[in-house]
Every structure is written in structure tokens, then in C-alpha cells.
């Protein structure tokens, strides 16, 4: 039996989500699945039936020996944007698979990734700049449609779902320190939106943020929860509407599930860019962005530390402005109450967009990984 290490960068739920969708297709009797990770990624991983789970902050150099010890007993590493695990796997001559959900976004792609055994690039937005820079440098580039979970058709129930994604990333930005986005946005959503037409309103985000939200907003009707990836897809697919931060994976899954989407302002730099791209493509008619009220930021291909700093600065401006918060709230309420007017066309455009990218690429990617692993002359542990 071959042992596969899965690892995802501790960056909200953006990295762990697609990794788990792949793991769904690779949880077969031929393989043992091991997860190594930290923070928000670890939270969702614990809700998936991995055979083994190790809490390791891969971005902390003090854990390198521990990470290498785990990888040394395995046959392959499948990483979603976690570079240290790939470096360790290459050092130990293990099979390396890199899952890139933001190929279009990166200001730089590290040279260490050019010769991984399989570089999975998901289609999303215009990636022509990085295609020109790196298309011929990456040896084993494999391009697929969005990697998403399996969504079953369900009857819509009288509920709405709100998602802030993972809300934070340990080494990049933290709630209560660098941002108060979940608290500010929950306050807006509870104050300004009329939820009386729904029997349930579910608000999902990471565990530590949920605990704080429950303490701060104990008197509102929201059901606060951290949901396993498959449970979240179920709740999404049976909701009348979903209000989300514009993270790529949740957006794609919402389109795929044909759920009407209202986009909240972005909570980090990639989300800030993504909502603008979605608007240009006509995929976000129901949306509220920071640049509707504050000066537009030009973030594309800036270093991550700088683009994050700029977005956090604008979120602090929002936090101090009750006037702007009210404007956001009134607009969101209008979109919720008029969803019957805009949702049909929006859902159709979202589904057409996913189809144009090649549809759900999870199964195709899993089969490519299986072929690589099973054809390689690796030592069984």
C-alpha cells in the first residue's frame, strides 16, 4: 500500500478545499492518506477521514526535521500551495505533485516548482502574463478545470448560507490582530439585512473565529458553524442564496451547484482582485466591493506582503466608518430581497463559465495522479 502525504498552505480555506476534493477521489484501498498541516488547513483536514493527521507548521523552519521524517516514510507528496513540503519531498526523492489554484495571480513562481513530477494548474482568470513567464519553464504542467467537490442536486430549502471562508492565515493575517473583517461584516449582516423570510441562516468560517462570533453575537439568529467540506457543499446546494467572500474555490463551487451568489467585499488581496475579475466577466451582478466606496487598489503581481498590507489598510478604514458599513448593508439587503429578479440569469452565467473552463477537474486530476504514482518505481514502506 502506497502512502500519500497531503499538505496545504495555512491560508484560510483556499488551499485545503481543493486538496480535500482531490483526496475524495484518492481515498481508495491502494493508498493510505496522511495529512500534514497547521492552522485553518488543519481544521478542515480533521473533518476528513485521513488515515493519519500530523499538526506541523510547515512554514516554521524549526519543524523541517519533523516534516522530513514524516515524508521519508511515504511515497508521494501532494501539495496545494505549500512549498516547504515540496522542497522536503524533492530532497528525499519522493514523487511531487503541486496543485496551483492561483496560477494567474502569483507575482513569482519559485524555481523549485519547475521540475515537480506533476504541476496541476487550474483554469480561472486571464493567466497570459504568467503563461508567458513560466509556461515553457514548468516541465510537467497539466491544466484542468476547477477542482471542486461532487455536488448532488437537492431541493432548495428556506435557508440562506453565509461564508467567510477560513478568514485568516497564521503567517499572513490574523483576525483580531491584522483584521476584524468577520466581526465588522457579521455586524453589517445582522443589522441591515431582513432575514425574516428564511427559517435558517448559517454562517460558516474557521473554528477560532466561530468561537469569537458566538461570544460577540449571541443574540442574533445565525447558526454559527465550521463545516466539513462535503457538509458545506450540501448546505450550499440546498440554500436559496449564499453570501460569500469572493474566494475562488467557494465561488466556483457555488457556480457549479447553481446556487444564487451574493459577493461580499473581499477580505484579502486575492479576493479583492477576484471580485473585480468576476465583475468584468459579468459573473457578479450581485456584489459589493471595497472599491465601490474606497479608492481602487492596483494589486496584481505586487509582492504578497505589500498587496496584503494595502487591503488590510482599507479594511481598517471600513471598520472605522459607520457610514460606509451602512451603505454596504443597505446594498446587500437590496440584493437579498430582490434575488428573484437577478438570480436566474446569474446562475446560468456561472454554470456556463464553469463549463467553459472544462467543468469539474477533480476526477481527471485524481486519475492523472494515480497514473503517476502507480507507474513510478517507488519504494513501498
Assess whether pLDDT exceeds 80 at residue 12: no
Assess whether pLDDT exceeds 60 at residue 192: yes
| DSSP code per residue over 163-187 | E-TT--BTTTB-BTTTB-HHHHHHH
Assess whether pLDDT exceeds 90 at residue 24: yes
Instruction: Tell me, yes or no, if the two domains 2-147+360-375 and 159-356 fold the same way.
Output: yes
Highest mean pLDDT among 2-6, 147-151, 267-271: 2-6
Percent of the chain at pLDDT above 70? 98
**What is the second-level CATH architecture of the domain 2-147+360-375?**
3-Layer(aba) Sandwich (3.40)
What would the pLDDT profile of 310-321 be if each residue is shown by its tens digit?
999 999 999 999
d(CA 71, CA 86): 10
Residue 42 C-alpha cell reads as: 488543519
Kindly report which listed range (74-78, 186-190, 215-219, 374-378) carries the lowest average pLDDT score: 374-378
pTM of the complete model: 0.88
Confidence of residue 175 (pLDDT cuts 50, 70, 90): very high
Say which DSSP state 262 is in. E
Compute the mean pLDDT over every residue in the chain, rounded to the nearest whole number: 93
Assess whether pLDDT exceeds 90 at residue 369: yes
Topology of domain 159-356 in CATH is Rossmann fold (3.40.50)
Bridge partners for 142 per DSSP = 120
Confidence of residue 376 (pLDDT cuts 50, 70, 90): low
The full set of domain ranges for the chain reads 2-147+360-375, 159-356
pLDDT for residue 380: 38
Amino acid at each position: 500500500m502506497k502512502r500519500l502525504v497531503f499538505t496545504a498552505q495555512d491560508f484560510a480555506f483556499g488551499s485545503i478545499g481543493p486538496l480535500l476534493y482531490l483526496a475524495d477521489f484518492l481515498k481508495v484501498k491502494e493508498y493510505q492518506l496522511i495529512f500534514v498541516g497547521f492552522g485553518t488547513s488543519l481544521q478542515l483536514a480533521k473533518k476528513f477521514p485521513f488515515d493519519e493527521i500530523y499538526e506541523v507548521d510547515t512554514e516554521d523552519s524549526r519543524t523541517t526535521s519533523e516534516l522530513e521524517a514524516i515524508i521519508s516514510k511515504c511515497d508521494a507528496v501532494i501539495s496545494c500551495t505549500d512549498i516547504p513540503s515540496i522542497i522536503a519531498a524533492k530532497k528525499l526523492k519522493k514523487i511531487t505533485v503541486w496543485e496551483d489554484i492561483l496560477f494567474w495571480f502569483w507575482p513569482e513562481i519559485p524555481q523549485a516548482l519547475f521540475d515537480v513530477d506533476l504541476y496541476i494548474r487550474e483554469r480561472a482568470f486571464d493567466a497570459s502574463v504568467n503563461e508567458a513567464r513560466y509556461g515553457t519553464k514548468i516541465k510537467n504542467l497539466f491544466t484542468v478545470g476547477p477542482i471542486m467537490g461532487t455536488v448532488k442536486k437537492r431541493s432548495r430549502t428556506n435557508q440562506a448560507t453565509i461564508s467567510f471562508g477560513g478568514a485568516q492565515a497564521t503567517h499572513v493575517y490574523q483576525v483580531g490582530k491584522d483584521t476584524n473583517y468577520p466581526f465588522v461584516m457579521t455586524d453589517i449582516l445582522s443589522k441591515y439585512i431582513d432575514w425574516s423570510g428564511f427559517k435558517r441562516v448559517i454562517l460558516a468560517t474557521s473554528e477560532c473565529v466561530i468561537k469569537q462570533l458566538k461570544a460577540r453575537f449571541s443574540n442574533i439568529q445565525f447558526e454559527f458553524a465550521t463545516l466539513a467540506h462535503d457538509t458545506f457543499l450540501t448546505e450550499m446546494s440546498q440554500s436559496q442564496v449564499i453570501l460569500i467572500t469572493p474566494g475562488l474555490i467557494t465561488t466556483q463551487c457555488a457556480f457549479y451547484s447553481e446556487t444564487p451568489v451574493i459577493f461580499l467585499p473581499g477580505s484579502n488581496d486575492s479576493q479583492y482582485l477576484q471580485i473585480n475579475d468576476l465583475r468584468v466577466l459579468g459573473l457578479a451582478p450581485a456584489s459589493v466591493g471595497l472599491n465601490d466606496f474606497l479608492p481602487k487598489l492596483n494589486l496584481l503581481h505586487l509582492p504578497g506582503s505589500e498587496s496584503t498590507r494595502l487591503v488590510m489598510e482599507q479594511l481598517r478604514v471600513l471598520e472605522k466608518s459607520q457610514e460606509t458599513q451602512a451603505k454596504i448593508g443597505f446594498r446587500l439587503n437590496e440584493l437579498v430581497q430582490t434575488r428573484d429578479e437577478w438570480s436566474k440569469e446569474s446562475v446560468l452565467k456561472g454554470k456556463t463559465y464553469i463549463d467553459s473552463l472544462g467543468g469539474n477537474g477533480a476526477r481527471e486530476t485524481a486519475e492523472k495522479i494515480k497514473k503517476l504514482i502507480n507507474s513510478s518505481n517507488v519504494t513501498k514502506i
